[in-house]
Homo-oligomer: A and B are copies of this chain.
Amino acid sequence: MEALDRRILSLLARDGRMSYTDIGKETGLSTSAAQQRVRRLEQRGVIKGYRAVLDSARLGHFVTAFVAIKPFDPSQADDAPERLAGIEEIISCYSVAGEPSYLLKVQVETMAHLEALLARIRAEAKCSTHTTTVLSTAYENRPEIS
């Protein structure tokens, strides 16, 4: 991974819509060289995609929570992520070391919706849940590159 590539990744991590022309200006490359670098980073999978960052509250999603889940029957197939993948309120799903098997980040309209969602998660993944409600988000998904 070259320093030039890291510069480009840093720029795109901060502004995913930056033009190749501007990337070139920032890095001292020509437009086509910048574009070539970005394409290679995409093809190699270093850049997995581009996303608009949205304001949850303005979309009516007022409640964020982390849900730690433990399967009721540890001898059962450990397929919680697939079983839960269809639930679109589940924003993230991590397999974790420690007492719970998975940690989910969820986003719902209200507490009532959270209650219903937890019931659904328990039913679909045959698990118990331990929920931590988010009061506020100081910062989130900051670029992991300088």
Contacts and interface: CB of A to CB of B under 8 A. Distances in A.
A46 B55 contact: yes
A27 interface: no
Given A51-B50, A54-B9, A141 B91 contact: yes
A115 interface: no
Interface string A123-146: 000000000111111111111111
Interface residues of A, number: 58
Contacts of A116: none
A89 to B, nearest CB: 8
Interface in A56-112: 56, 58-61, 64, 66, 81, 85, 88, 90-98, 100, 102-103, 107
27 contacts: A1-B58, A9-B54, A12-B51, A12-B52, A14-B49, A14-B51, A15-B49, A16-B17, A16-B49, A16-B51, A17-B17, A46-B54, A46-B55, A50-B50, A50-B53, A51-B143, A59-B144, A81-B138, A91-B140, A91-B141, A92-B137, A92-B140, A94-B135, A94-B136, A94-B140, A95-B135, A97-B134
Given A13-B51, A13-B54, A59-B145, 17 more contacts: A1-B60, A16-B16, A16-B50, A16-B52, A47-B52, A64-B94, A81-B138, A81-B139, A90-B142, A91-B142, A93-B138, A93-B139, A94-B137, A94-B138, A95-B134, A96-B133, A103-B132
Q: Which 4 A-B pairs have the closest CB atoms?
A: A16-B50, A81-B138, A12-B52, A93-B138
